[in-house]
């Protein structure tokens, strides 16, 4: 787990493509640790330093309500590897999460500037004395909708 993630450059849609909404989708988020806010930034070269919501590359944030570690019996926090498709119980409480950040205005501005690719920087912030090393996910995707 890390406190900052910088993606490879994501290809932006061609400027002639019409869209009414654009989202960054984060798949496979681990929420077994502390709760945190993940501030999301987009830019041609990534974002350096300690930016905040006033930074020009800020596009939004998402929140994770963490579980604060495992306090159950042995195996309690192990996510099942297989699940019967007819099992009607709710999913395991630590199934990886998905979060969506709408970036329509930011993407439109980047396309107007002539950008063809952008890096995504995600910075995790926890409360109090908790470590910021809580950020872990599998995939990030940029989706546009006509």
> What does the domain layout of the chain look like in residue ranges?
4-78+88-145
Tokens 């041609």 belong to residue: 44
* Tens-digit pLDDT profile for residues 6-43: 999 999 999 888 999 999 999 999 988 889 999 999 99
Phi, psi of 138 (to 5 degrees): -90, -45
Tell me the pTM: 0.85
**Whole-number Cα distances in Å, 135 to 10, 24, 88, 119:** 19, 16, 30, 17
**If one looks up domain 4-78+88-145 in CATH, what number appears?**
2.60.310
- To 5 degrees, how large is the angle CA 83–CA 86–CA 89? 70
Phi, psi of 134 (to 5 degrees): -125, -5
**Whole-number Cα distances in Å, 50 to 37, 47, 53, 60:** 14, 8, 10, 15
Q: Which two tokens stand for residue 138?
A: 């599998």
Q: What is the mean pLDDT of residues 66-83?
A: 77
């Amino acid at each position: 787990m890390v406190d900052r993630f910088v993606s490879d450059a994501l290809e932006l849609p061609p400027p002639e493509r019409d869209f009414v909404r654009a989202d960054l989708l984060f798949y496979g988020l681990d929420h077994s640790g502390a709760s945190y806010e993940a501030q999301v930034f987009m830019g041609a070269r990534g974002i350096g330093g300690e930016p905040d919501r006033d930074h020009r590359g800020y596009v939004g944030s998402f929140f994770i309500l963490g579980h604060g570690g495992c306090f159950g019996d042995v195996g309690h926090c192990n996510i099942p590897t297989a699940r019967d498709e007819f099992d009607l119980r709710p999913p395991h409480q630590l199934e990886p999460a998905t979060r969506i950040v709408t970036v329509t205005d930011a993407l439109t501005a980047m396309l107007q500037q002539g950008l063809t690719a952008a890096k995504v920087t995600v910075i995790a912030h926890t409360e109090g004395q908790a470590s910021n090393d809580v950020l872990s996910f599998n995939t990030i995707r940029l989706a546009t909708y006509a």
